[in-house]
Structure 1
């Protein structure tokens, strides 16, 4: 039984929402970031990146940075750039991109559910990142990046969403990335109660994106629960039907062949794969157990030979197969999170991007994967198993500054 609650969000003034909201901070190049901060005084980037106002060469401690975030956030509230709801409510949020439409519910989800595995995980976390974001939450007192959580498709929730979209939204705006964003309030007690009941009938929720944010929320709860602050018992989530998420792969690029010649490397790969030389064709995998490889100006199709021998859930994952057969035994990669010899490219990016990185000499070989599906993710989570790092790139991505959950 999944528990969700409404909350008193802080959000942009309606006339400024398109100016305030921004992509996640890491999505901006330094040049883009500087341009947006110089051009747009309303951007939420000014809140999450207060260090920009300091001398660029100056080293800033996390504590000083977090204080700067808090100060700028309070300035935005004082200037009525950000306003607060007068009562706890839910929201319905829709993102329309060129190729997809994503629609879901924004609510508070339960730390207790997270601890009791009602909310299930499939990715590992890095302790230092969890602790750093926990300190950020503790010192700033707010979060604007919800955890993306999926739920099994529900006729009742789908009907609720369809009917509610007939109402007038509080926001409807477009962005420079050619996305359309629409937000509706769910604020009548009847609707709130109905939505709570619908989710109470769902046995499990699954984290799609935001494992570090949810782990940080739990750590903050354990640290500060003695204060009696009820907001610590929940974290903001964007709940979306599992059929509505879009899962991309992460492709891999490696800087060297671990001392192997090209010919020897290909012979070693051939122990586990049927190799087809695609020459200069921009080739990508078409199905599971198939991999692409780009090496020395040529593309290769790799078909895994031993799929009928696979027994375990984790061993069936394409990212794990690549690690077990090539990355670890041949290329000598062990720590996929921290080894500087490997990097990752979201499958959403054109394959030409990977080709250029290798052609320019920064990397020597690249591997393309077929994307996982939601059933693989759920099966891993149900068996308390963890995906290899950078196995999935999942959409939708939330706009920073659209809604703020205060602690």
Structure 2
């Protein structure tokens, strides 16, 4: 198979304008089943009935039950049959803008190449879990569609900026504010000549990066292989199973929040012994207010109702390795592993992770409730960090990045 263009326009399935705010839903992985059921309770058109289809089955049904994938496909088909979702008659790009707290980020919704993913032209920075890959693969296979977009990023590019701005000069097809206060605006680019320029501009990039959606992109690769192995598909530019739904944002518009840690116990140490051990690697300063770090090698700690500022001592040099010098790695290598005995962030049940969107109050609540013994806050990982790790062919520790705002499911879906 010859090299496919990095991205292509596609014939997206979209809600009718009058239904978009009811169809569009939070991503499947930011809500549990009970939250999704409550959110969609009075809304038959919510895309949660596709992405979290267990809410249409008896309470307690596992999200991984075969009946859930079947129900998802049925509900997706029903939205199309009822005319709630309609397919664009020609291949389009879509420009998607999100505004959160007055800050905008604008990206291009496109069908990205599985070939580019498999060859590492689309670079990754996280390991995937087989159970989650299996889930997303079966979901896409039953729907014969990719719904939740993979969040890609690229080094900002003036040529692409100009093409995006040209599309945004027109009238948007959607413009609504979700219940969480985030504004979502979508433009449709249907002009073939304009779209060819967009294709060529992205194809001139050496690499793009998965920011969020490693399991969805891995699942798309598996769906492609399944099509080929079962003799159902072909390997050419026009075959939709060779592509997956993505939104590409320039790196200079991205917002990464901190991703903090809470731990159940002090590993058998008393408070005094724990602080003494900490003092071997960190300068420790009590704080009157919650500690929100704003520079590297600095951490906040909340223990027994008191905040502390922890600064890694100057004599501890930064590693050359781009993964090892991340703050999330420094915390693990100098505190979580040697002092608290937490070696495996993926499997150790003593540690949990709290997205920065919940703020310092979210950390304090976990400790004050008695559920956790200690919390750690840290600086957010930067886009430069993410790209350096991916460029080096490495992966970040678990829960290194929390992206906001979250992309809405159901705005555009790519069938195959």
Fold similarity call, TM over 0.5? yes
Tell whether 2:177 aligns with 1:174.
Answer: yes
Equivalent residue for 2:13? 10
User: Hey, what's the Cα distance between the residues in 2 that align with 1:203 and 1:60?
Assistant: 38
- Cα distance in 1 between the residues matched to 2:411 and 2:294: 37
**Counterpart for residue 129 of structure 2:** 126
Cα deviations across residues 23-48 of structure 1 (Å, max 9, x unaligned)?
Answer: 11333365543333221122112222
1:292 aligns with 2:300: yes
Deviation of the 1:62 alpha carbon: 2.4
Structure 2: how far apart are the matches of 1:159 and 1:185? 16
SS at 2:324's partner residue? helix
Q: Which moved more, 1:4-13 or 1:29-38?
A: 29-38
CA distance in 2, matches of 1:239, 1:267: 47
3-state SS, counterpart of residue 315 of structure 1: coil
- Compared CA separation, residues 396 and 36, structure 1 to 2 (3 A): closer
Q: Distance in 2 between the 1:61 and 1:266 partners?
A: 43
Instruction: Indicate if the aligned counterparts of 2:149 and 2:409 stay in contact, CA closer than 8 A.
Output: no
**Cα deviation, residue 61, structure 1:** 5.8
Other-structure match for 1:140? 143
User: C-alpha distance in 2, partners of 1:60/1:20?
Assistant: 20
Aligned to 1:370: 379
Deviation at 1:297, TM superposition (A): 0.9
- Using a 3 Å threshold, how does the CA distance of structure 1 residues 378 and 58 change in structure 2: closer, same or farther? closer
Secondary structure of the residue that 1:128 maps to in structure 2? helix
The 1:61–1:95 alpha-carbon spacing in structure 2 relative to 1, beyond 3 Å, is: closer
**How far 1:216 sits from its partner (Å)?**
1.0
Q: Specify the SS of the correspondent of 1:235.
A: strand
Please list the CA deviations of residues 245-285 of structure 1 after superposition, one character each: whole Å capped at 9, or x if unmatched. Answer: 1011210000001101111111111111111111x411211
Question: Does structure 2 retain, via aligned residues, the 8 Å contact 1:151–1:205?
Answer: yes
Give RMSD over aligned pairs.
1.7
The answer to whether the 8 A contact 2:367-2:374 is kept is yes
C-alpha distance 321-57 of structure 1, shift in aligned 2 (>3 A):
closer
- Give the C-alpha shift of residue 339 in structure 1: 1.8
Unpaired segments of 5 or more residues in structure 2? none
- Residue 105 of structure 2 is matched in structure 1 by 102
The match for 1:227 is: 232
How much has 1:185 moved relative to structure 2?
0.8
Q: Does 1:268 align with 2:271?
A: no
Which residue number in structure 2 is paired with residue 63 of structure 1? 66
Check if 1:52 corresponds to 2:61: no
Q: Secondary structure at the match of 1:227?
A: coil
The answer to whether the 8 Å contact 1:252/1:368 transfers is: yes
- Does residue 85 of structure 1 match 2:85? no
Match of 1:283 in 2: 291
1:245, 1:396 within 8 Å by CA — same for their partners in 2? no
- Matched residue of 2:276: which SS? helix
Equivalent residue, structure 1, for 2:77: 74
Farther-moved stretch of structure 1 (236-245 vs 48-57): 48-57
Instruction: Give the secondary structure class of the aligned counterpart of 2:160.
Output: helix
Q: Give, in angstroms, the shift of residue 79 of structure 1.
A: 0.6
Q: 1:319 to 1:63 in 2, by over 3 A?
A: same
Report if aligned partners of 1:11, 1:402 keep a CA contact under 8 Å in 2: yes
Question: Is residue 150 of structure 1 aligned with residue 153 of structure 2?
Answer: yes
Indicate which of 164, 170, 192 corresponds to 2:167: 164
User: Helix, strand or coil: the match of 2:358?
Assistant: coil
Alpha-carbon deviation of 1:221?
Answer: 1.4
Q: Distance in 2 between matches of 1:313 and 1:25?
A: 31
1:22–1:45 CA contact under 8 A, matched in 2:
yes
Task: Give per-residue Cα distances to partners, 1:6-27, cap 9 Å, x unaligned.
Answer: 1111110111001111111333
8 Å Cα contact 2:98/2:184 also seen in 1? yes
1:58 to 1:304, Cα distance in 2 relative to 1, 3 A: closer
Residue 348 of structure 1 aligns with which residue?
Answer: 357
Structure 1 unmatched ranges of 5 or more: none
Deviations 1:346-397 (A, max 9, x none): 1122201211210110000010111111111111001111100001101342
Residues 234-245 of structure 1 correspond to what in structure 2 (within 5 A)?
A: 234-245=243-254
- 2:64, 2:135 within 8 Å by CA — same for their partners in 1? no
Deviation larger for 325-334 or 103-112: 325-334
SS at match of 2:39: helix
Question: In the superposition, relative to structure 1, how do residues 30 and 83 fare at CA in structure 2: closer, same or farther (>3 Å)?
Answer: same
Q: Does 2:324 align with 1:319?
A: no
Match in the other structure for 1:304: 312
Partners of 2:408 and 2:243 lie apart in 1 by: 20
Please name the residue that 2:208 is paired with. 205
